[in-house]
Amino acid sequence: MATVSKTERRSAPPWKSAAIGLFCAAVIIIVFVASRSSDVEQTVAVPTGPHIYGGNSPPPDVDPVFEKVWQTAIARGPREGAIPIVSGPLADIDYDGYRKIIFDPDKQFWKGDDLGWILDLFHAGYIFKEPVRVWQVLSDSVADSAAAPAIGSGDPTVEANAERQPEIKPIAFDPDLFWYLDDVVKRDQIPEQFGYAGIRLNSIFQGEESYREVASFLGATYFRALGSDHIYGSSARGLAIDTASNMPEQFPSFREYWVERPKPDAERVRAWALLDSAGITGAYRFDIYPGDTTRLDVTARLKARHQIGKLCIAPITSMFMWGDGTPPPSGDSRPEVHDADGLLCWSESGEWLWRPLRCPSTTTRSVFEFDGLRGFGLLQRDQSYDNYRDDEALYHRRYSIWVEPKQSLGRGRVELLEIESPGEWIDNIAAFWVPERPILADDVIDLKYDLLFCSGNPPAFSGGRVLSSSVTYNAKQDVAKVMLTFGGGGLDDSARDRDFDVLVTPKDRLIAGPLVRRAEDGTIVAVFDLQAGTELSGEARACLVSGKDFLSETWSYRCQP
């Protein structure tokens, strides 16, 4: 149970600037303690096992490459062995100049080998100033086990496989792999010691004949993936440290990548990454399964170099400007502009919590505490073109990112950052999981979770939901007028004479209502007034009920202008 201007937009880079790392010193903090009555909680089977191990504990299921990456990581110091940061002309080029550096499509790795996968690489420069090394894994000896014993465990089969090390070859930087249009950069301006900015994996989606991008890893620990009908929007990160805290934020980086050459027609491709920062190091493995929903199975083992007060696990960044009750600015005819419209959390007890996003006038941090978590994510629920009417940005095709742990996370919190923003070319939303206990020096952290890049709700979602919410403020009276529309989960087909009510908490915020009615289309509409104002703390919550039955997710909102 839980306890507690168009021109600028068109010229914006595909990997938007992140305002997240420039977090304001003045932060408004909202804490939400998730709870529901025990007599109506759903019973959910929860995976068991700790997520933080001592230094002598066995690692998670590993393969020889994962073990190699892990041993390399813990043997190095911060930035040890890293390629020098880019300077000079490559660092000074702008976005338009960077776009003129193109990977030669005739030189893509595995092209013509009929494997169902193609690899190409990003050039370092522009804002991507930390080059990385890339390796290709060629051997078939890489284990494809879901739960293999650890190397060093004494298991004779594992030890025998460990001796048969995979064949790994470096993909050394080669300027001949790129086109430099209009001589944007001259060959003699490229440092002798150089690398790439990241990797891109392409495949053929089911029912299609041509290769398309599936996933890319580019910049710090940022990465993204696409389902078959998606275009890029929100981003995932490997890890963040001390984000929105009283300590300087650390940005861990993936220093090296290993990519396995897949077998013909393999359903997935595997990649590994070495993470490094002043405070933590470790190994990541990504198994990438493309589809209508593209899934990344993430396995990581990390070691803290010093005490970390706030470890931010599975961070997601996104953008929200207006929509879902927030009107557009004068002169812009688009009803909504966002890559995600809400935060969804799934507690260990089975409760679903929905928090619509805002573009605040002041940066805020909202905290949602849980005894355990089954999943969380930043969703783009609204998939209707008519609600965006943008033929260029195509916001109705942006995906949701859903994090689903394969282990018990224990007590902790989901934090939501909402940052004031000048425009849609900047990410101003972030969400991540923070364990309750701080991470001590030499702690080893094992993580295993799925990342789903899906349309709308995650596959596991069920029950009624808030189809739309509108919050209108009366500043003179400090009143928020709320209208919620509930639907889905059988609500539209439920008995017409059934009595519905909306449970609003905290009760002392409720000024008028709720008035609940069934609309002609079968949805349930609730209207109520809440006390609002900049001096109020906490979030108001509402859930559709009938008697003792909870019929919908819990809507949560910060009632401040």
> What's the pLDDT tens digit per position in 87-111?
999 999 999 999 999 999 999 999 9
Amino acid occupying residue 549: D
Q: Report the candidate in 37, 3, 70 with the shortest Cα–Cα distance to residue 369.
A: 3
Q: How do residues 368-396 score in pLDDT, each as one tens digit? A: 999 999 999 999 999 999 999 999 999 99
pLDDT at residue 175, rounded to an integer: 96
Long-range contacts of residues 21-24, Cβ cutoff 8 Å, at least 24 apart: 21/243, 21/249, 21/251, 23/243, 23/244, 23/249, 23/363, 23/417, 23/419, 24/362, 24/363, 24/419, 24/420
Rounded to whole angstroms, the Cα distance separating 129 from 316 reads 22
Rounded to whole angstroms, the Cα distance separating 543 from 552 reads 6
Give the confidence band of 27 by pLDDT, cuts at 50, 70, 90. Answer: very low
Q: Report the candidate in 276, 271, 297 with the shortest Cα–Cα distance to residue 216.
A: 271
- The bridge status of strand 540-546 relative to strand 549-550 is antiparallel
Q: Is the pLDDT of residue 356 over 70?
A: yes
Q: Is the pLDDT of residue 170 over 90?
A: yes
Q: Is the pLDDT of residue 51 over 90?
A: no
Give the confidence band of 491 by pLDDT, cuts at 50, 70, 90. Answer: confident
pLDDT at residue 327, rounded to an integer: 87
Q: Report the candidate in 408, 413, 412, 411 with the shortest Cα–Cα distance to residue 448.
A: 408
Q: Is the pLDDT of residue 53 over 70?
A: no
Give the confidence band of 496 by pLDDT, cuts at 50, 70, 90. Answer: low
Q: Report the candidate in 380, 359, 420, 414 with the shortest Cα–Cα distance to residue 558.
A: 359
Rounded to whole angstroms, the Cα distance separating 523 from 491 reads 7
CA angle, corner 260, sides to 256 and 262, nearest 5? 155
Give the confidence band of 536 by pLDDT, cuts at 50, 70, 90. Answer: low
Kindly report the average pLDDT of the chain as a whole number.
86
* Residue 423 tokens, joined: 């425009």
Residue of 25 and 274 predicted with greater confidence:
274
pLDDT at residue 14, rounded to an integer: 44
How far, in Å, are 52, 347, 432, 521 from residue 306 at the CA level? 15, 30, 21, 57
Q: Is the pLDDT of residue 254 over 60?
A: yes
pLDDT at residue 184, rounded to an integer: 95
> Which domains are seen in the chain, by residue range?
465-557 (2.60.40.10)
Residues 224-236, mean pLDDT to the nearest whole number: 97
pTM of the model: 0.88
Rounded to whole angstroms, the Cα distance separating 351 from 349 reads 6
The answer to whether residues 388 and 337 touch, using CB atoms and an 8 Å cutoff, is yes
Rounded to whole angstroms, the Cα distance separating 238 from 427 reads 17
Rounded to whole angstroms, the Cα distance separating 102 from 153 reads 46
Residue 5: how many other CB atoms lie within 10 Å: 8
How many CA atoms lie less than 13 Å away from 407 in the CB half-sphere? 18
